[in-house]
């Protein structure tokens, strides 16, 4: 068995990857959540702006 010991700190990307895939967090984010959260925020903001800016329409 081979053991690798790393000295020093993890890079920013490695610590982010460890945080995303860690199951010790209170809420598990995962890679799907990394893509889903900003996409849903952008869609909700766009929908709200479009709803407010839409002209009145008679049916």
Please report the pLDDT score of residue 27 as a whole number: 85
Q: Do 20 and 30 meet the contact criterion of CB atoms below 8 Å apart?
A: yes
Is residue 14 situated within a structural domain?
no
Tens of pLDDT, residue by residue over 2-57, are 666 666 788 999 999 999 999 898 888 899 999 999 999 999 999 999 999 999 88
Please report the pLDDT score of residue 18 as a whole number: 92
Choice between 1 and 47, residue whose per-residue pLDDT is larger: 47
Instruction: List helix spans (H) across the chain.
Output: 12-21, 30-53
DSSP state of 24: T
Tell the residue number behind the tokens 């839409």, with chain if given. 54
Domain that holds residue 43: 28-52
**Residue 27 structure tokens:** 């809420």
Number of domains within the chain: 1
> What angle do the packed helices 12-21 and 30-53 form, to 10 degrees?
90
State the CB neighbour count (10 A cutoff) for residue 22: 11
Please report the pLDDT score of residue 4 as a whole number: 64
């Amino acid at each position: 068995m081979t053991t690798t010991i790393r000295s020093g700190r993890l890079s920013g990307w490695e610590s982010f990857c460890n945080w995303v895939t860690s199951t010790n967090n209170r809420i598990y984010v995962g890679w799907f959540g990394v893509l889903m959260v900003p996409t849903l925020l952008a869609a909700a903001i766009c929908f709200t702006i479009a709803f407010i800016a839409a002209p009145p329409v008679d049916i």
